Chains A and B, each alone.
Chain A
Amino acid sequence: MNLVLGCLAILAVLVAAGWGFRFVGRMSGRALFKDMELATAFGWMLLVFLAMGGVWLFFFVPAAVFFRWAVQGFIVFAIMAFLFRLLGRNVGPNGTRRLFRQMPLTASFGILIIIIYAVLAIFAGVIAPHGQEEVFARVNVLPGGDVAMGGDPAFPLGTDQIGRDLLSRLIYGAQNTVGIAFATTVIAFLLGGTLGFLAATIGGWLDQLLSRMVDVLMAIPSLIFALLLMTIASAWAGSQQQLLTLYMILIIAVIDSTRVYRLARAVGGNIVVMDYIEAAKLRGEGMVYLIFKEILPNATSPLLAEFGLRFCFVFLTIASLSFLGVGIQPPLADWGTMVRDLSQFINFAAFSPLTAALPLMAAGAIALLTVAVNFVVDWMLHRSSGLKE
């Protein structure tokens, strides 16, 4: 009750402050203040209030460790994105320079993060200090590397219940989780794209048949359907865990290819009615030529944006499945499974913030990549549509 009253009191004070701010501003006779609405003035006051609260938390509250980390992380990433954009503007061929010149900071942040993840995923074996399946004698080492606290400098993020190095598993997670999601998206695109373009070019009964099948598959929520099929796949795979991961890739690829099919068919349908397709048909070109040389080059930009978004969905679905315990199987290191296994550590937040941050690191690694891809796709769509808003 007191909390609600306190919030109301703060709001009232902020409205009064906004009114006062505008009143004082009007004394100076600037047009800006004359046209200012009370709501805008209130907004500025709210911003000042939040900024002051943030500064107070950052400098004067020793317990707000997580807040401090979040702010530091935000600032570091912002500076990195800015430097990366600066680099892109001055180095490289003219084409990329022009691209970087119009780029918002969010998009350059996205590209930077994607590059970092790609490097981590490709060179995981070189970067990670230990192997992902390597089991050490020291179990449950605390993170931080401080011997007095129960840490070990050899394991900067500690080890898990059976003694595997968590830093290495985090790095290998990039390879496994991102790699599997990427492979799944590629399969979904090959399947959905091919069928969609075929349906658009041939039309008739094939189009009807495929479209109705896709309609039915899309009527079942995708995560639920994936879980149902994973039950069956786990019975088929038996004790062969690697096979289950393979089945998961196929299942999610098929489920997600329905969405790709829809888009490819719609885009293809618009292209097929063009005159140059007619001309190619009259020239006597075959179906393969039509799809790969005429339709595909003209459908690249919507498909590319869709690829980014689809990758995010697939990535999140796989992470959710792994988190629920039916996705990527051990001994492969994977972020979703790590979050589930380490989730209990969150209760130690008051005593050892770094330990509590472990599950958040794995979950944050997932979130960071999807946010980055979304930022880039957002910018690409904005650019290709020429939207002003």
Chain B
Amino acid sequence: MGSVTRIVVQRLFLGLLTLFVVSIVIFTAVNLLPGDFAQAILGQGATPEAVESIRRDLGLDQPPITRYFQWLAGAMQGDLGTSFAQANFASFTGTDSGATTVAAQIAPRFANTMFLAGVTAAIAVPVSLTLGILAALYRNSVFDRAANMFTLSSISSPEFFLAYILILFLAVLNPLLPSLSNIYAGMTLGERLERTLLPALTLTLVVTAHMMRMTRAAIINLLASPYIEMARLKGMSPMRVIVRHALPNALAPIINVIALNLAYLITGVVVVEVVFVYPGIGQLFVDSVKIRDIPVVQACCLLFAAAYILLNLTADILSILSNPRLRHPK
């Protein structure tokens, strides 16, 4: 058990280190912007005094390294800074509702995105595992070939193409589901699910194809091994051979693929959220990119990268734990 904890701790440390370096990259990239935040807020007609006072307020007059550590320390404590757009809006209308911090903007949207990803995973994982096992069982049959063509096409289509096709058939021609997912606080779970279903189905289509192909490949890889041959010669049914003998050994690559695809969901979510106007973090990110609301862009980027690194790390650790040969290295 000692070696396992050591490996896990080692990987966790590596993940943290990566995240730290990534935060440096993001911070440096943002600081390459011409001019600075103060000018970005005030626009071109600003007086030098006003620019100077905002720079002092935001701490922009300090050297970059100090600012970086302040930002990092703030981010650790959940304080991600002030959103330009919201601050602008608040000063324009004269109301300070307290929603000007980036954290206050991101938190509810992050929960929405997690909900969407959760619904997608709940549909996609069982479906793709079943289909993958079936495709491995009936390999080279009509079903397998049709599935292969279908998955290859849906992997290579852009997300918005699949999204609009689903909208066309499930929302416009046969009005079964709403094509706009306006989600607000205080909805019942049923309503929420109904509004989330169409974006979740789009993401499912993209992710399922990948997971199913990988599951099929992982199982077929094992079918040439002697112990599978043995089980077959014993007179076992093909289904039993695959489920009892092949599947447990194919678990490591399958878990890996599931985790990697959940990581893929994070980037896929951006486009799909924009298509369905789903109030998630991807939508917020794209909107902030368009109006150059730098603190929000920075925070979203860090959040996406953290989730991505975390999921990759999980995949790594799980595949070590599920493989006895990696668990007990010589």
Contacts and interface: CB of A to CB of B under 8 A. Distances in A.
Interface of A: 39-40, 43, 47, 63, 66, 106, 215-217, 219-225, 227-232, 234-236, 312, 316, 319-320, 323-326, 336, 339, 343, 346-347, 349-350, 356, 359-360, 363-364, 366-367, 370-371, 373-375, 378, 389
B106 interface: no
B164 A235 contact: no
B33 interface: yes
B18 A224 contact: no
Given A312-B156, A349-B172, A367-B153, A223 B286 contact: no
A346 B267 contact: no
B122 interface: no
B266 interface: yes
B21 A216 contact: yes
A356 B168 CA distance: 8
15 contacts: A40-B138, A47-B142, A219-B309, A220-B22, A221-B263, A221-B266, A224-B300, A228-B26, A232-B30, A236-B34, A320-B270, A324-B270, A359-B164, A366-B161, A374-B156
A325 B290 contact: yes
B58 interface: no
Contact of A360 (B29, B164, B297, B300): B164
Interface of B: 18-19, 21-22, 25-26, 29-30, 32-35, 40, 138-143, 149, 152-153, 155-161, 164-165, 167-169, 172-173, 220, 239, 263, 266-267, 270-271, 274-275, 285-286, 289-290, 292, 294, 297, 300-301, 304-305, 308-309, 312
A320 B271 contact: yes
B212 to A, nearest CB: 15
Nearest to A324: B286
Contacts of A371: 152-153, 156-157
A90 to B, nearest CB: 26
Q: What are the 7 tightest A-B residue pairs by CB atom distance, in nearest-first order?
A: A363-B161, A370-B156, A367-B157, A221-B267, A223-B267, A349-B172, A224-B304
B173 A220 contact: no
Contacts of B263: 221
B290 A235 contact: no
B305 A219 contact: yes
Contacts of B275: 343
Given A360-B161, A363-B160, A389-B139, A224 B301 contact: yes
A375 B158 contact: no
B22 A323 contact: no
B157 A43 contact: no
A383 B202 CA distance: 32
B289 A320 contact: no
Nearest to B288: A231
B144 to A, nearest CB: 10
B312 to A, nearest CB: 8
Contacts of A47: 142
A220 B161 contact: no
Q: Which of B173, B220, B285, B292 has the most CB of A within 10 A?
A: B173
B173 A349 contact: yes
A367 B156 contact: yes
A379 B297 CA distance: 41
A106 B149 contact: yes
Nearest to A228: B301
Nearest to A357: B168
Contact of B152 (A364, A374, A389): A374
B167 A219 contact: no
Given A235-B35, A367-B157, 19 more contacts: A43-B138, A43-B143, A63-B173, A106-B149, A216-B21, A227-B286, A227-B289, A229-B29, A231-B297, A232-B32, A236-B33, A343-B164, A347-B172, A349-B168, A356-B172, A360-B164, A363-B157, A367-B153, A389-B220
A45 to B, nearest CB: 13
A293 to B, nearest CB: 35
B292 A235 contact: yes
A229 to B, nearest CB: 6
Contacts of A367: 153, 156-158, 161
A63 B294 CA distance: 49
Contacts of B168: 66, 346, 349, 356, 360
Nearest to B146: A47
B224 to A, nearest CB: 9
Contact of A228 (B21, B29, B138): B29
Given A66-B168, A222-B267, A319 B158 contact: yes
A236 B172 CA distance: 41
B158 A316 contact: yes
A215 B20 CA distance: 13
Contacts of A378: 152
Contacts of B304: 220-221, 224
Contacts of A356: 168, 172
B36 to A, nearest CB: 11
A219 to B, nearest CB: 5
Contacts of A374: 152, 155-156
A324 B161 contact: no
Nearest to B223: A389
A374 B275 CA distance: 25
B270 A223 contact: yes
Contact of B160 (A63, A216, A223, A320): A320
A347 B21 CA distance: 46
B157 to A, nearest CB: 4
A204 to B, nearest CB: 22
Contacts of B300: 224
Contact of B25 (A66, A216, A326, A339): A216
A307 B101 CA distance: 44
A324 B274 contact: yes
B248 to A, nearest CB: 21
A220 B301 contact: yes
Contact of A66 (B161, B169, B312): B169
Nearest to B293: A231
A296 to B, nearest CB: 28
Q: Which of A47, A217, A232, A375 has the most CB of B within 10 A?
A: A232
B167 A231 contact: no
A223 B305 CA distance: 11
Contacts of A229: 29
Nearest to A349: B172
A66 B22 contact: no
Nearest to B221: A389
A225 B309 CA distance: 14
